[in-house]
Chains A and B, each alone.
Chain A
């Protein structure tokens, strides 16, 4: 329908409605409001609209199929192991999405449910208590125990809203950590092995045969298929749950708990089921990981993992299953790449250039920024090298082809003075925050030294310590996404109705 007929439809005389075209106030107009919002024009827009019309199960089948083909392309056990870990991350993110994205409840104890599943599996399939359940018993058991613990944590939380709920779940997390860490002596009984954890856990078994966790020291790819299978089942189950009455009720709870209660929704029950669903999925992933690792330690279930999963959900778009899957893959790959300084360097410059292109487009400003940043770098490098050779003769971390080029441009001293690290890092954070306050050409002018400073900090400070760097980046992503694009990559923009 083109604009002309729509106009007529709206302005038509009451009593003589046009035969075609929806009118304001008619249900169809409301139902179609989503189509009118934010559609992009041109070929790209048509493509986007077509892609949006592809049913979800096609995407799911495509994704699972591609992931299943991954081992064909990559022989290395390392890649396969990363693929397995990514699927576990996706499962965790899908579970958290139920609680945060659909239920709108801030569950900070989520990782504890992951741990509950892991420990349940460990206890019933190891020498600890001489129990050796088959997998078809132990995995469902972990899932059910996770769900029940989720219900139990939710139970006292029924009366709490918002922040208090978050805090109670956070405390539950702390209680879980305290108990597992000190569990080697609970009234004299050894339950969890304490900090030493539980080891020698049975692998998964299928029809009475064990699936070895590795063959000739290489990761057994069967585990990847098992995880993918569980992913497909969980994805479909949650999808159906979300399309059901309960799913709609969850969303109403998220939008306005008070209004939902007034409409007769069983608010407490909805909160509990959201918690239990999320917890069950987390527990399931816990049991899979434990079976593969053959061991479980309390250190696995620390705070950083919680933030990692949250970043996945928020970045992908909380509430959107496809978004959450994409967020999980992105963050999982990002964390893996950041482990290795050579790869991390490549990623840094690649993302930097991509961001410049994305923000400035192909324009004079882009040429000015890139040109002057390069010039500034070579000038600074030349001056520093002239003053003292030690300032520029350092070897960049990690090596690789890019490192040689970078060491001609960025100042990499042989010995970094103690004060340089904190000073340059704090300066970088301050300048980046300050940039958000500036506009126009002033901003462009300040971008140039900021880029060079960023490169300096990246080479000298962050690449030297991959572990904190990964988490600093996660925290920054979380805040930045929350402020710049709270709906994430694929989420739907939420409009506050007052």
Chain B
């Protein structure tokens, strides 16, 4: 029973990070119908910006500001940095190809992803970077918290899960309640019609990239608080985020949350009960099955092609 609770907790933490990445894919795919391969690398860059911000604020052993402010500042830095990066990627790598054949922006996205991963390696080296979250507040993040049965739920896990969900709820409110959110939904429904109704498509697309990349940046920090980061993590993280988005139904916000959690649980339970080595394989098999038998995902609507 303890193992089960522990694994559920692992799955929840992992899943909420995946869900944040998945939202970025969903937002961009919903509006541009573009699979943004570079998204996983934006996530990786986010974790590096967070690391830089942490060092600038005095490092985790001897921070200059209180713990809560430190976490907020680090996350904000990553979000802002990634948002800028997302805007740049859209402006220079995708916008010139908006009317090109479908395959062109995908190849461009591959190039961007590769460029980002190796640029970070060029600047900071291939070695891992550890936030050393254990040293923060003399271990507060790991020792305080509460117990379920015999399993300790550390504060760090609570922070990761809660902040991920707060961000998702904020995004959901933004998309459903605000004017720009309405414009986004309209664009995603029918880009040309939205344009004719006077919606500034460029603005909407840039906004989607800002939101998606900022969420990826936050996810990068939340991820790196638990595990060390490196220049090469973006690729696999991006794949999993995309998987989560497809499972939930690409383009749907609640779908991305559910998809992320399903993926997190699947991975945690395979690691716990079967083998750590094959957990990635299971994730990929789930995805391929979903793509074949329910390509619209759990919450999506089937894509009917009209000619």
A residues near B, CB below 8 A?
Answer: 100, 104, 106, 108, 156, 159-160, 162-164, 166-168, 170-171, 174-175, 178-179, 182, 258, 303-304, 307, 310-311, 314, 421-422, 425-426, 429, 433, 436, 461-462, 465, 467-469, 471-472, 474-479, 482-483, 486, 494, 496
B119 CB contacts on chain A under 8 angstroms: 425, 429, 468, 472
CB <8 Å contact, A106 and B103: yes
Q: How far is the CB of A453 from chain B (nearest CB, A)?
A: 15
CB <8 Å contact, A163 and B278: no
B179 interfacial contact with A, CB 8 Å: no
Most chain B C-beta atoms within 10 Å of own C-beta, residue among A425, A462, A477, A478: A478
Most chain B C-beta atoms within 10 Å of own C-beta, residue among A100, A163, A168, A433: A163
**Chain B 95-137, CB within 8 Å of chain A: the 1/0 string?**
0110111111111101111111111011110100000000000
B residues near A, CB below 8 A?
Answer: 33-35, 88, 92-93, 96-97, 99-108, 110-119, 121-124, 126, 235-236, 239, 242, 246, 277-278, 280-281, 284-285, 287-288, 291-292, 295, 305, 307
The complex places the Cα of A179 from the Cα of B278 at a distance, in Å, of 9
The complex places the Cα of A163 from the Cα of B116 at a distance, in Å, of 21
CB <8 Å contact, B115 and A314: no
Interface residue from A163, A167, A258, A483 paired with B307 (Cβ < 8 Å): A258
B305 CB contacts on chain A under 8 angstroms: 258
CB <8 Å contact, B110 and A478: yes
The complex places the Cα of A426 from the Cα of B305 at a distance, in Å, of 43
- Could you list some 6 contacts between A and B, CB below 8 A? A104-B101, A156-B288, A472-B115, A475-B111, A479-B111, A479-B115
CB <8 Å contact, B122 and A472: yes
CB <8 Å contact, A483 and B106: no
CB <8 Å contact, A106 and B106: yes
CB <8 Å contact, B110 and A307: yes
Most chain A C-beta atoms within 10 Å of own C-beta, residue among B126, B235, B278, B292: B292
Q: How far is the CB of A196 from chain B (nearest CB, A)?
A: 15
CB <8 Å contact, A471 and B114: yes
CB <8 Å contact, A170 and B239: yes
Interface residue from B108, B121, B284, B295 paired with A479 (Cβ < 8 Å): B108
The complex places the Cα of A429 from the Cα of B285 at a distance, in Å, of 39
Interface residue from A108, A167, A421, A479 paired with B123 (Cβ < 8 Å): A421
B239 CB contacts on chain A under 8 angstroms: 170-171, 174
CB <8 Å contact, B280 and A174: yes
The complex places the Cα of A426 from the Cα of B101 at a distance, in Å, of 31
The complex places the Cα of A181 from the Cα of B119 at a distance, in Å, of 27
Query: Who on chain B is nearest to A461 by CB?
Result: B122
The complex places the Cα of A375 from the Cα of B97 at a distance, in Å, of 38
CB <8 Å contact, B114 and A474: yes
The complex places the Cα of A167 from the Cα of B247 at a distance, in Å, of 13
Interface of chain B: mostly helix, strand, loop or mixed: helix
B284 CB contacts on chain A under 8 angstroms: 171, 174-175, 178
The complex places the Cα of A479 from the Cα of B126 at a distance, in Å, of 23
A479 CB contacts on chain B under 8 angstroms: 92-93, 108, 111-112, 115
CB <8 Å contact, A160 and B111: no
A476 CB contacts on chain B under 8 angstroms: 111, 115
Interface residue from B35, B92, B116, B287 paired with A166 (Cβ < 8 Å): B35
Contacts A258-B307, A310-B110, A314-B107 hold; do A462 and B122 have CB atoms under 8 A apart? yes
B100 CB contacts on chain A under 8 angstroms: 486, 496
Q: How far is the CB of A328 from chain B (nearest CB, A)?
A: 17
CB <8 Å contact, B101 and A496: yes
Q: How far is the CB of B47 from chain A (nearest CB, A)?
A: 15
7 additional contacts (CB under 8 A) given A106-B106, A108-B110, A475-B111: A104-B103, A106-B103, A156-B292, A164-B291, A475-B114, A479-B111, A482-B104
The complex places the Cα of A163 from the Cα of B292 at a distance, in Å, of 13
Identify the 8 closest CB pairs spanning chains A and B, nearest first. A478-B111, A475-B115, A475-B114, A479-B111, A468-B122, A471-B118, A163-B35, A468-B121
Query: Who on chain A is nearest to B103 by CB?
Result: A106
CB <8 Å contact, B118 and A303: no
The complex places the Cα of A175 from the Cα of B236 at a distance, in Å, of 12
The complex places the Cα of A474 from the Cα of B112 at a distance, in Å, of 10
CB <8 Å contact, A465 and B122: yes
A474 CB contacts on chain B under 8 angstroms: 111, 114
A175 CB contacts on chain B under 8 angstroms: 281, 284-285
Interface residue from A182, A304, A465, A471 paired with B278 (Cβ < 8 Å): A182
The complex places the Cα of A435 from the Cα of B103 at a distance, in Å, of 27
Q: How far is the CB of A254 from chain B (nearest CB, A)?
A: 9
Q: How far is the CB of A433 from chain B (nearest CB, A)?
A: 5
Q: How far is the CB of B181 from chain A (nearest CB, A)?
A: 25
B123 CB contacts on chain A under 8 angstroms: 421-422, 425-426, 461
The complex places the Cα of A429 from the Cα of B126 at a distance, in Å, of 20
A461 CB contacts on chain B under 8 angstroms: 122-123
The complex places the Cα of A409 from the Cα of B35 at a distance, in Å, of 44
The complex places the Cα of A474 from the Cα of B116 at a distance, in Å, of 11
Interface residue from A168, A310, A469, A486 paired with B288 (Cβ < 8 Å): A168
A426 CB contacts on chain B under 8 angstroms: 123
B111 CB contacts on chain A under 8 angstroms: 307, 311, 474-479, 482
The complex places the Cα of A165 from the Cα of B28 at a distance, in Å, of 18
Query: Who on chain B is nearest to A262 by CB?
Result: B307
The complex places the Cα of A267 from the Cα of B123 at a distance, in Å, of 46
CB <8 Å contact, B118 and A422: no
Interface residue from A311, A483, A496 paired with B99 (Cβ < 8 Å): A496
A496 CB contacts on chain B under 8 angstroms: 99-101
B246 CB contacts on chain A under 8 angstroms: 167
Q: How far is the CB of B159 from chain A (nearest CB, A)?
A: 28
Most chain A C-beta atoms within 10 Å of own C-beta, residue among B33, B100, B246: B100
A433 CB contacts on chain B under 8 angstroms: 88, 92
A162 CB contacts on chain B under 8 angstroms: 102-103, 106
A303 CB contacts on chain B under 8 angstroms: 114, 235
A164 CB contacts on chain B under 8 angstroms: 291, 295
Interface residue from B102, B108, B117 paired with A483 (Cβ < 8 Å): B108
CB <8 Å contact, A106 and B107: yes
Contacts A100-B103, A479-B93 hold; do A171 and B288 have CB atoms under 8 A apart? yes
CB <8 Å contact, A171 and B103: no
